[in-house]
Amino acid sequence: LIEHAARGDVVSQTNLGIHYGLGDGVVQDQAEALRLYTQAAKQGDARAQHNLGTCYMTGNGVAHDEVKGARLFRKAAKQGLADAQYSLGGCFLLGAGVVQDSEEAVKLFRQAAEQGLEDAQLTLGRCYAEGKGCVKNDEEAARLYRLAADKGFAAAQFVLGKCYVYGTGVATDHKMAARFYRQAAEQGLASAQFAIGKCCMLG
């Protein structure tokens, strides 16, 4: 991998950067990770652009710069990278490095959700639940939660459980609520563990 990266192979540069960033199989070295991400990003690698953008957004190994971070997310998102679409959507939702625009955020979350990204499905669902950047639609919110929940995403399982408790976007069904709470609780989600405990107490 190191040899391929040294020869300019863009995939190897990105993968090696991830290894250095995590300290996976090599001594952790954020500076080296950044160097490799930068090389790969300049060659147009979407994953490298996203990873480098995340470094700028968080100030991890570089000066915190939300504008640079958002710019890199945008480059990767244009290539169809779901993680970048989701990250850029978050920028627009919060106004981080870009002018705040909830409708643009929803558009990007939808693009990522349609590719199956669970975080995007959950976040887009919350936008529909709150009417943020879109027309409020509890049924669509519940549908999106279910997509992520069925793939084992604990946070979505918990939120969907609440929908079944209160009949929000779905028919009230305490058995279904307990089912999704339990699935999330088994993954260690504390809020779900509390909720399933409460369900047991109430029968």
CA separation, residue 148 to residues 8, 83, 111, 121, 158 (Å)? 37, 15, 15, 6, 11
Asked whether residue 195 carries a pLDDT value surpassing 90, the answer given is no
Task: Report pLDDT digits (tens) over 76-88.
Answer: 999 999 999 999 9
What local confidence, expressed as pLDDT, does residue 200 receive? 59
Binning pLDDT at 50, 70 and 90, where does residue 199 land?
A: low
Whether residue 58 contacts residue 65, with contact meaning beta carbons closer than 8 Å, is answered with no
Give the pTM: 0.92
Tokens of 134: 């879109």
Asked whether residue 113 carries a pLDDT value surpassing 60, the answer given is yes
Task: Report pLDDT digits (tens) over 115-139.
Answer: 999 999 999 999 999 999 999 999 9
Asked whether residue 201 carries a pLDDT value surpassing 70, the answer given is no
Whether residue 126 contacts residue 134, with contact meaning beta carbons closer than 8 Å, is answered with no
What local confidence, expressed as pLDDT, does residue 183 receive? 95
Residue matched to tokens 């190191």: 2
- What percentage of the chain exceeds 90 in pLDDT? 85
Residues contacting 146, CB < 8 A, separation 6+: 156, 160
Please compute Rg for the chain using Cα positions: 20
Number of continuous H segments (helices) and E segments (strands) in the chain: 12, 0
What local confidence, expressed as pLDDT, does residue 180 receive? 95
Greater confidence, 202 or 45?
Answer: 45
Nearest CA to 17 out of 59, 56, 55 is that of 55
Whole-number Å distance between alpha carbons of 12 and 93: 33
Tokens of 100: 């705040």
Whole-number Å distance between alpha carbons of 192 and 195: 5
Tokens of 152: 């084992």
Tokens of 104: 């643009």
Whether residue 71 contacts residue 52, with contact meaning beta carbons closer than 8 Å, is answered with no
